[in-house]
Structure 1
Amino acid sequence: MDKYFLKKLIAPNQYTFIGISALATIMFFSTFLQRKVIVSGTDTFLSALINDYLAAKSPVLVSAIYTALAVTIALLIIKVNENYRFIHRPTIVPTFIFMFFITFSEYDVRLNAGLIGALFLLLAMNSFFVIFRHGNILKCLFDTFFILSAGSLFHIHLLFLSAVFLLFVFFSGSFNIRHLFAALIGFITPLVIVVPIIVGLGYGEEFLIYTNYATMLSYNVMQSWSFSRIFYSVFFFIVIFVSIAFFYMTNLREETRNRRTLFFIFVLTITLCVLGIYQMKNFFTYYPIFILCMSLCSGYYFSLCKAKYIRHLFAFFLATPVLFSIYSYLTIGQ
């Protein structure tokens, strides 16, 4: 019975889209029904341009666009796992974890560049994982760094994350100077195209101001921490280290390519956590990206768990944000 329950629970089926649609509907209406703190996700010139344009439109249109963006990311998570199977079987668990944490976030995700950054990061990961499958490395590197560079025009901190990608290229065992040039060309191509256009339109100064502000690290961490940020940070660290511990306990049963893929996700998640701590002024622009990586780690964790524990694990992952959302609803604005 337990095995049957687990199989039906985590496997994509005809009810997957219904579940995603239900969470998307809740996400759409929660922006109007809950007292959420609206945090500007603007951290680049282009994201500011998009936000200013959307802000002039109706709130319904803004919610619809960002809800559709979240659903797109959720469906791509399933597609990426179908392509690489680093999670043992086709599963909807990471998809629902991503949608749930985005839906029940304390803060309003509308006009949050983190969702755009999460989309570009997932696309870059989908391209980058070809390295661990011994595919066309030159094309893989060009595509990956092209996507990261294009995404950094909307979420500047993808530039920092590109260092993690490059680090794993060095340790892939097949790195040479051609691979470095492929990554470099892919990285500078979007910048060479977009930046001259921005400067030519007379927005060069604004572009530099936004870029300079977004890349400044804030070291006065404790002065800017609120209860909610401490809560999320502690919770994220617990999830990360539990996932890593479980990964090392089971890595002997994994294929080498799966170990590399999962270890890459873990390193990327920890990097995001560190950047988020030192960028508290824009902490919640990291939130969608962090939830994306955490959902992939959690999906791997769930796929290896025995069925008799699955209900307790779901209770932990689902009850925690629900209780915190209730706390936020009662305390925000007081």
Structure 2
Amino acid sequence: MAMAENGGRLGGLGGSLKVANVQALAAAAADDPNTLTRDRILNRYIRPEMDVDGLVRVDDDDDDDDDDDDHIPIVDLQRLVDPNSSQEEAAKLKFACEDWGFFQLVNHGVSEELMERVKADVEGFFRLPLEAKEECGQLPGGLEGYGQAFVVSEEQKLDWGDMLFLLSQPQSYKTLKFWPTSPTTFRQTLDRYSLEVRRVAHCVLGFMSRNLGLEPDRLVHGFMEFQSFRINYYPPCPYTKNVLGIAPHSDAVGLTILLHVNSVQGLQISRNGRWIPVKPLPSAFVANIGDILEMLTNGKYKSIEHRVIVDPSKERLSIAAFHTASMGSVVGPLPELVDGSKEYYRSLSMEDFMKLVVSSKLDGKGLMDRLKLNP
């Protein structure tokens, strides 16, 4: 696949409008607190609905902290592949996919040494001067590189965060122009990490397939062979109760595997009218169902709305590995999973799906609502 003139292997699908660098805004505010004021620069980030969204926030010191319904399920990959415990662990995975859409994945087999290296390289990249980071900047009309996503108008509210978006698998999709050369180990480390996370994703998808009564490789081959990374940086913000790192949304992919780079929390999922904070276990991945998997399973597995809040004094970093359908494939309910003749989602090409995603701002599950067939 040739690289498009407008910036990357996914050129032609659209891109995001260029906006101010949030890390730079936060750094300026640290030097001069008057830089950030509600009526000046910060106005596009202030979200009035944060005070009136009607949802109960579950804080770290909540009295109901021990309630099982406040903790996402835990799946042990080692037990999942062990014949002696596989059936019991597969039942846990089935429950997590059907009832939560999120789970923590432990004993996944990715070495601690590799995870620490990729964390260090990501932190090293975001410590670079802005000019150095922008050497990997997005090009007009493109998705890949350093910048923003889902900014489609000059009026919409913005997220308090920056990102580096990279295509990683298949190898032919990679565009090295957008892959940092500093730290010097960044490319090699992320390449290794990419292969390991893909192995984990394909293993989990295999067990999801079995739980759905499909052939073990049904969700992988032809559907989940495409991998990309969204590497997130959320600077601290003094107006933490009025801004969002990422607005509420569901992931427009198949399966997401997230690694928290540091200990600062911020990810929250919407469940039963409440925002539940995700408290990652040491060395664990946080995995979640995406929109494509909801479509393929005809709604048996559902993508879950989630958001990121920011910390008033500490930066937060994360690495999201997205696994989704390959370009050229058609996404929609799998025939094996259609109940009689009733399909809940329309089928469309992956290219058309991506154009819808890129042209839309983050808006809960609004995109999925548009793809539903009339009952």
Same fold at TM > 0.5? no
Decide which structure has greater helix share.
1
Q: Provide TM-score, normalisation by structure 1.
A: 0.29
Decide which structure has greater strand share.
2
Q: Provide TM-score, normalisation by structure 2.
A: 0.27
